[in-house]
Structure 1
Amino acid sequence: MSNDSYLYTIFGDLLCLAIVLFLGYWIGKYIYHYIFLGKKIKYLSFPLDGVQNFLLYISGTSKHQEMSSKKYLFHILIFSFLGFLFLFILLMIQGYLLLNPNNINNMRWDVALNTAFSFVTNTNWQAYVGENEVSYLSSTLGLTTQNFLSASVGMCVLFLLMRGLTNKQSKLVGNFYYDISRIIIYLLLPLSIVGALLLVSQGVPQTYSSNIKYVDYINSSANNQFSILNLGPVASQVIIKQLGTNGGGFYGANSSHPFENPTAFSNLIQNVSMLLMPVSLCYTFGFSVNDKKHSYMFLQVMTFLFVIALMCCTISEYTYKFVINSNVYYGNMSGKESRFGIGLSSFWSISTTSTSTGSVNSNLNQYTPLGGMILLLLIEFGEIVYGGIGSGLYGIIGFVILTIFISGLIIGKTPEYLGKKIDSFDMKMVCLLILPSPILAMGGTAISTIVYPLGIYSEKGAHGFTQLLYGYTSMANNNGSSFNGFKHNTLSNVMGGFIMVIARFVPIVAVGLMSDNLSIKKISNSNSNQLKTNNTLFAILLVGIIVLVGALGFFPSWALGPIAEATSI
């Protein structure tokens, strides 16, 4: 590859990060004042408050009816279960309903179960081909709606924890329905409208017209053979899949499809969108605890890990060597779109695995062994770099509390966070927050390997094992991306669905119970015996704990998969 390619890649990467970090500050400040605190917005409060008050009225509640942490958590779980039930039934009967001009059939029960679990848990693992198996009604009323709802639930869980950390001996943490309606109406919906219009301007379809038949050079109209141009409400689903770190695309090829992501500018819009909310919420946290240094500490850790992973993956793809007719060439373009190249593809892949987005603009299955292992590693961290919307930040807060506890044991400091003592109950909840994902990922891989030793992945050997490991790791961390070699059957659909549910809601329950425990604690005014948690030294400690706890437990599986593959080339 030429030096120009490297320069363009570095410039593009820095530009995208700069846009995200700049916009993140202002959106994070907006979230704190107008979403978290609920302040009124001049000129917009009257119409938007009217919509929100109507939604609260039909839900039988109001913003003045505050809930305890446990009641707030209970409503999150009930709301999510009803969302799953609605989506599951909708997919099962979509063939009989309206907005189905392409005559899409009802979805098979195990695929519908997996899909409903997937979208409710913010995973968006796609065991189906979107343009062929989902009607326009299911896409709009089911999948796109759940993209808004599941993302908002993640933010609500973060708000729950933030209020538990900042409350002064009060169990009241706000109203779930007030929070979720405000997140959608005041934040996600306006950003999605702007983003969708920008995508439409780049050629992304947004229509309810039926697919178009056309004659190409291969097929002949004389033989009654046609190709199909798949259309649909694409832009509206694509923008919220990125903003909400959902990832499920309208097309089976996701954002590598030329209709879903046609230009370099649409690629930039989508890449910025998937990083924007997690970065913004870091700033929101700093405002909520009245200490911006906490925001900067989180961003130091996240950006450091992100940049190291990006460098390793990009260099691995650029320096890949192959030989054609005795001539040596460099650069792994296999599985990548020529309109994006290695640089934009690598940046996107790092973004989608460091968050919980899971969307792709290239074929991850054809990355180099080292490049693929870096993507796997980022998911195994628990997707806290920069993480999913809400889930990334409450996930890294779990690692912060673990770091405080371990450091306190070593240096004799009282384990406290933001002035609140960390007790044994909090540590149990941290374990429930961190441990389910690796247990489920390794357990699912082991079970599938035993039951289908040769039949659940497309290739044999080390790469086949990597496909399987990556698939279950993706589901167990609510990511949704895949190496494309993972084969879907009834066992993997049902087991994968329950893995996604457990991986999503056990940590949510742990956060809710920890918030309840933290809410009633006094905030200590003395800083003499507290470990500082907002400086660079603590950031270094936090990185060490993330690497030790979040990744090294997977090392034996790397030896069987990507490492074995790399050494055999």
Structure 2
Amino acid sequence: MDFFLTVLVMVVILALAWRFLGSYMAAVYTGRVHFLGFAERPTYRLLGVDPEGEQTWQRYAASLIIYSGVAIGLLYLLQRIQGALPWNPAHMHAVAPALAFNTAVSFVSNTNWQNYAGESTMSYFTQMTGLAVQNFVSASVGIAVAIALIRGFARKGSPTIGNFWVDLTRGVYYILLPISFVFALIFVGQGAMQTMGAYAHVHNTLNGVSQTIPRGPVASQETIKELGTNGGGFFNANGASPFENPTGLTNLLSVCLILSIPFALTYTFGKMVGSLRQGVAVLAAMLVLFGAWLGFTSYAQHGPNPAVAAAGVVHQPGGSLQGVETRFGATQSALYNVASTQTSTGSVNSSADAYNPMGGFGMLTGMMLGEVSPGGVGSGMYTILLFALVAVFLGGLMVGRTPEYLGKKIQAREVKLAAIGVLVMPVTVVVLTAIAAATPMGRAGPLNAGPHGFSEILYAFTSQGNNNGSAFAGLSGNTLFYNVAGAAAMLMGRFAVIVPVLALAGTLASKNVVPAGAGTFRTDSGLFVVLLIGVILIVGGLTFFPAVSLGPLVEQFSHGRFF
């Protein structure tokens, strides 16, 4: 499909999702939708939850942490005993302890970082009852946290921010399951694999060569992988595999699924706070950043690959095809990978490690902004709202009065919580990258020397610290060091941000609304959008510029040209 036609269709689909999915999600989380009550009610009885009882932010956070801890333990156990469980036609053995721990943390934190190849490590039972279940639930957790923060802005003098178990359940039942089911049928119709049959063994009688072709229940996991911005592939090739992503239509739908909920949540935000202009302002900031990074990365991928050019191979006008699935080409691959890395999805349809240095720079720096353009399901929304609070604080300083956002005074406690939430990721990434680069265990991971090897380390911890999951695949991550350090990055990137966000939701919900005055800094204007984008760029640029200077920038300049 022509790239410009693809973009046009994508914009139309996402515009419809923004309006109608965004409105529907607002109805779901304000309790105006009940058509699945027959499934909800037994779930609440099983959990021992009163759906009418709301929680303070402390109880909401405690419920989330307890659930996540139990989920990590159960998923770890499932991997360790998978050899004794059914639906294991390839006879997979127990997953090694460090890898099982890393994978459990990865899927519960909505990261889906994979230090393994799914077709040679995980049984059907583990894939379906462990990893796929977390694809739904971890995504719902992210949306629930974003909704809790939105309630903090919308409520006045309230001691509560909702009920975690209700938000979790409704997110799965009313949003993620129905959409995933419908699109799974489309993927199957397009040729995506969906079978419980054993791996196929093929013998070529002409040359005597035998081949084993992995199979499995793929399509049912593919759509939630994208919709929930999870990204973990059933196969090691992920979105480049024709079993997962068979046609141009599934490639387009994958990108739309990735972006739909993160963008639609801005409409939900505007609807719930009573001002769609506020949601549009946040959406505008997301779109500007996404468009800029997509254009930059696509342009970079249409330049010659420096290593290939050095070998005397003449560059073709279709763009760099090193590591690119030829079914999609350089531009479609850049669109898919940028959408994935800008949303904490991490699924890819081409090899990020084989991108041109500045193409890899585009994917890497997109994550370094905090994945707010538009970010993962829920996580992008609550992260950009943290940046918005920092922006209104700076705006308040400029006009010489107490900053306000949506009628709530932003005082010392709110600014401190927002700053903690914004800085957790960069500090985690920089510290762990430095440790890896300074220790023999860390330096043993990259398969490339020099600046590209450093980029592989930096990309890994940036991806894990942002709960993204994509990788420069040249890093050998299945070691004790990288499994443990990566798990630490994923835990910090998820829960050390969520707790300050929920604390912020609690303190905002307890505040009353202050009427706007002549000196109030408007947060639904173009000026605020510019200020918000500036804050995001400054925080990411000041934090990470020294690091990217040692990686993709020096690699590009070492070839004697910038583009």
TM-score calculated relative to the size of structure 2: 0.96
Say whether residues 1:210 and 2:198 are aligned partners: yes
Residues 349 and 361 in structure 1, CA contact (< 8 A), matched pair in contact too: yes
The equivalences for 1:137-156 within 5 A come to 137-156=125-144
Cα distance in 1 between the residues matched to 2:550 and 2:416 = 32
Residues 82 and 93 in structure 2, CA contact (< 8 A), matched pair in contact too: yes
Cα distance in 2 between the residues matched to 1:137 and 1:559 = 44
Residues 115 and 125 in structure 1, CA contact (< 8 A), matched pair in contact too: yes
Equivalence for 1:22 = 16
Cα distance in 2 between the residues matched to 1:470 and 1:358 = 12
Cα distance in 2 between the residues matched to 1:40 and 1:504 = 29
Name the CA shift for 1:54/1:447 in 2 (closer, same or farther; >3 Å): same
Equivalence for 1:473 = 462
Cα distance in 2 between the residues matched to 1:420 and 1:544 = 22
- Identity fraction in percent: 37
Cα distance in 1 between the residues matched to 2:116 and 2:321 = 26
Residues 459 and 485 in structure 1, CA contact (< 8 A), matched pair in contact too: yes
Cα distance in 2 between the residues matched to 1:355 and 1:370 = 20
Equivalence for 1:10 = 4
Cα distance in 1 between the residues matched to 2:500 and 2:314 = 57
TM-superposed CA distance for 1:326, in Å, is 7.4
Name the CA shift for 1:217/1:532 in 2 (closer, same or farther; >3 Å): farther
Equivalent AA in structure 2 for residue 481 of structure 1: S
* Correspondent of 1:524 among 504, 514, 535: 514
Cα distance in 1 between the residues matched to 2:315 and 2:200 = 44
Equivalence for 2:256 = 272
TM-superposed CA distance for 1:362, in Å, is 0.2
Cα distance in 2 between the residues matched to 1:54 and 1:236 = 24
* Correspondent of 2:30 among 34, 37, 50: 37
Q: For residues 5-40 of structure 1, give each alpha carbon's deviation from its aligned partner in whole angstroms, at most 9, with x where no partner exists.
A: 9xx32332232133112222100001111x111113
TM-superposed CA distance for 1:267, in Å, is 0.6
Cα distance in 2 between the residues matched to 1:296 and 1:471 = 33
Say whether residues 1:131 and 2:115 are aligned partners: no
Count of residues in Structure 1 that have an aligned counterpart in Structure 2: 553
Say whether residues 1:380 and 2:368 are aligned partners: yes
The equivalences for 1:51-90 within 5 A come to 51-90=39-78
TM-superposed CA distance for 1:217, in Å, is 7.9
TM-superposed CA distance for 1:218, in Å, is 8.5
Equivalence for 1:455 = 444
Residues 219 and 227 in structure 1, CA contact (< 8 A), matched pair in contact too: no
Q: What SS class does the counterpart of residue 227 from structure 1 fall into?
A: strand
Q: For residues 188-234 of structure 1, give each alpha carbon's deviation from its aligned partner in whole angstroms, at most 9, with x where no partner exists.
A: 100010011111111111111110100248861xxxx5211111111
Equivalence for 1:329 = 316
Q: What SS class does the counterpart of residue 64 from structure 1 fall into?
A: coil
The equivalences for 1:50-449 within 5 A come to 50-216=38-204, 220=208, 226-320=210-304, 323=309, 327-330=314-317, 331-449=319-437
Residues 352 and 358 in structure 1, CA contact (< 8 A), matched pair in contact too: yes
Name the CA shift for 1:529/1:105 in 2 (closer, same or farther; >3 Å): same
Equivalence for 1:493 = 483
Cα distance in 1 between the residues matched to 2:100 and 2:189 = 33
TM-score calculated relative to the size of structure 1: 0.95
Name the CA shift for 1:325/1:166 in 2 (closer, same or farther; >3 Å): closer
Cα distance in 2 between the residues matched to 1:352 and 1:217 = 42
Cα distance in 2 between the residues matched to 1:394 and 1:339 = 36
CA RMSD of aligned residues (A): 1.5
Residues 13 and 347 in structure 1, CA contact (< 8 A), matched pair in contact too: no
TM-superposed CA distance for 1:400, in Å, is 0.3
Residues 201 and 213 in structure 2, CA contact (< 8 A), matched pair in contact too: yes
Q: What SS class does the counterpart of residue 212 from structure 2 fall into?
A: strand
Equivalent AA in structure 2 for residue 544 of structure 1: G
Equivalent AA in structure 2 for residue 9 of structure 1: F
Q: What SS class does the counterpart of residue 260 from structure 1 fall into?
A: coil
TM-superposed CA distance for 1:253, in Å, is 1.1
Q: For residues 484-539 of structure 1, give each alpha carbon's deviation from its aligned partner in whole angstroms, at most 9, with x where no partner exists.
A: 01112111101110110111001110011111111111111233332100111100
Cα distance in 1 between the residues matched to 2:499 and 2:422 = 12
Q: For residues 236-257 of structure 1, give each alpha carbon's deviation from its aligned partner in whole angstroms, at most 9, with x where no partner exists.
A: 1111110000100101111111
TM-superposed CA distance for 1:444, in Å, is 1.3
Displaced runs of 4 or more, over 3 A? 216-219, 321-330
Cα distance in 2 between the residues matched to 1:28 and 1:540 = 24
Cα distance in 1 between the residues matched to 2:480 and 2:29 = 42
Residues 205 and 232 in structure 1, CA contact (< 8 A), matched pair in contact too: yes
Q: For residues 23-64 of structure 1, give each alpha carbon's deviation from its aligned partner in whole angstroms, at most 9, with x where no partner exists.
A: 22100001111x1111135xxx2xx20110000011111221
Equivalence for 1:544 = 534
Residues 444 and 472 in structure 1, CA contact (< 8 A), matched pair in contact too: yes
Name the CA shift for 1:129/1:327 in 2 (closer, same or farther; >3 Å): closer
Cα distance in 2 between the residues matched to 1:490 and 1:153 = 28
Residues 304 and 315 in structure 2, CA contact (< 8 A), matched pair in contact too: no
TM-superposed CA distance for 1:431, in Å, is 1.6
Cα distance in 2 between the residues matched to 1:303 and 1:164 = 25
Name the CA shift for 1:451/1:216 in 2 (closer, same or farther; >3 Å): farther
Cα distance in 1 between the residues matched to 2:205 and 2:546 = 50
Residues 53 and 62 in structure 1, CA contact (< 8 A), matched pair in contact too: no
Q: For residues 361-397 of structure 1, give each alpha carbon's deviation from its aligned partner in whole angstroms, at most 9, with x where no partner exists.
A: 0000111111110111110001000100001000000
Name the CA shift for 1:69/1:200 in 2 (closer, same or farther; >3 Å): same
Q: What SS class does the counterpart of residue 435 from structure 1 fall into?
A: helix
Q: What SS class does the counterpart of residue 329 from structure 1 fall into?
A: coil
Name the CA shift for 1:520/1:219 in 2 (closer, same or farther; >3 Å): farther
TM-superposed CA distance for 1:101, in Å, is 1.3
Cα distance in 2 between the residues matched to 1:168 and 1:16 = 38
Cα distance in 1 between the residues matched to 2:315 and 2:78 = 54
Q: What SS class does the counterpart of residue 201 from structure 2 fall into?
A: strand
Q: What SS class does the counterpart of residue 343 from structure 1 fall into?
A: helix
Cα distance in 2 between the residues matched to 1:157 and 1:74 = 13
Unaligned runs of 5+ in 2: none
Residues 426 and 514 in structure 1, CA contact (< 8 A), matched pair in contact too: yes
Q: What SS class does the counterpart of residue 376 from structure 1 fall into?
A: helix
Q: What SS class does the counterpart of residue 228 from structure 1 fall into?
A: strand
Q: What SS class does the counterpart of residue 322 from structure 2 fall into?
A: coil
TM-superposed CA distance for 1:567, in Å, is 0.7
Residues 258 and 343 in structure 2, CA contact (< 8 A), matched pair in contact too: yes
Equivalence for 2:496 = 506
Q: For residues 76-99 of structure 1, give each alpha carbon's deviation from its aligned partner in whole angstroms, at most 9, with x where no partner exists.
A: 111111111110100111011111
